[in-house]
Amino acid sequence: MNYTFPENFIWGVATAAQQIEGGMREGGRGLSNWDVFSHIPGTISGGGVPDVACDSYHLLDRDIAMMKELGVNSYRFSFSWPRIIPDGTGEVNPEGIAYYKKLLAGLKEAGITANATMFHWDLPYALQVKGGFGNRDMTGWFLNYAKVLLDNFGEDIEYWVTFNEPIATFVGNAKGFFAPGLCDEAYARQCCHNLLVCHGETVKLFRSRNYKNAKIGIVVDVWKHYPADPENPEDVAAAAAANETEGYGMYLHPLFLGGYSRYLNAYMKEQDVMPDIMSGDFETIRQKVDFYGMNFYNVLIDDSAKQRRLAAEQSEGGNYQNRPEYHTELLDKVLKEIVEEYGIDVPLFISENGLPQVGMTDREAILDDQERIDYLDKVLKTLHKAMQGGIDVRGYYLWSLMDNFEWSAGYEHRFGIYYTDFETLERIPKKSAAWYAGVIRHNGLPE
């Protein structure tokens, strides 16, 4: 079968500021919530901290050269809010502006289109102590930050993303294992609502600029749950709850349909975690975007009987998380269902997709990442099938350009197609880098 993609299909790689830049207290940068959270003992697997990370703050030229070697035509990165405005509000940091201007100039020279995220989880710590996204004043703080970005970079960036994976804000405030490390669901629901209002206000600001070439959208990850047995009420309930109360439905429904779903509303009322909603909020949230970015890694099958068995195995010393089942063959189904369920009528991007190498230490074994190649091959074939079936996907961004700081997993999960030596900061292409370069060169998969 021929797996050739459309002529203008975007092939990219993705990273995030907190995960690769380092330079934590350099160039006028302020602290982020993740800087502080990661230094609390026991929060990060292996004790890793992002102070240096991949040191892209100093090795930017090398990283752009890597992208040029790959042949990508787009780079998805994020701005660091504490590097742009160290205290979240107030004085703008000229060194931070200069860093991103250098990045954009390098991308332009290399013929690589910029896809920039305004917020990829790294909130200025000065705003976190004021309540973070739980404080309604965040709408003004974020809008000011967005204005600074648009004033300085505007049409230099073709694709603007307001927020990446807003679920992280819920996890960090309701579950405790992401920054800021809180376990207050009611507060987390308010954080999520305020974040969506920030998105809507930012889209309105963007529209007021009347840019000719720049576009704006949002990225929501989809880890879609399906019941193992559609006739088993326990499996059905588990899948519905995962999708609607702690998954993508919390965001896609208000973004594309307006308001929260009946399922989520009923749950929040029952649990007494309903956020304060102001008049006009949902009209603000439901702004027309130019594209939707879907981060996809896996589909999850909820099998209540199996989960009980695996939980028992884990309690006996096993770790079922080291034996994941990947259901890449369902990406086609997921895309169709998401588009239909939420009436998404704008172009889509697969804005992140990748496979981790977990707990590996042998360099040669890490470099020979055939398992990643096999996974990516299956994803792209299924994506091609979905596009042949009418789903309007305009591009694909592989996560990630290089091994980096993977949030609570620290440096123990390696998603990069370039190996990062976190002691020497050397970058070495893995087997998957050559494979992906071939995909880009052929604009698809060889028969």
Residues annotated as part of the active site: 165, 352
Whole-Å CA distances, 92 to 17, 82, 116, 279: 17, 10, 19, 32
* β-strands 413-414, 357-358 pairing: antiparallel
Q: Decide: 146 and 88 in contact? Cβ < 8 Å.
A: no
Based on the number of CB atoms within 10 Å of its own CB, is 189 exposed (0-12), middle (13-18) or buried (19 or more)?
buried
Token representation of residue 355 = 């496979």
- Residues 328 and 297: their CA atoms lie apart, in Å, by 8
Asked whether 152 and 116 are in contact (CB, 8 A), the reply is: no
In Å, what is the CA distance from 22 to each residue of 52, 59, 404?
4, 10, 10
Q: Which residues face 420 on adjacent strands? A: 427
**Cα torsion for 56, 170, 256, 286, to the nearest 10°?**
-90
User: Considering just the CA atoms, what is the radius of gyration of the chain in Å?
Assistant: 21
Rounded to an integer, what distance in angstroms lies between the CA atom of residue 298 and that of residue 227? 15
Give me the amino acid identity at 141.
W
User: Nearest to residue 116, comparing CAs of 168, 67, 71, 154?
Assistant: 154
Could you give the CA distance from residue 151 to residue 104 in angstroms, rounded to a whole number? 15
246: enclosing H helix or E strand: none
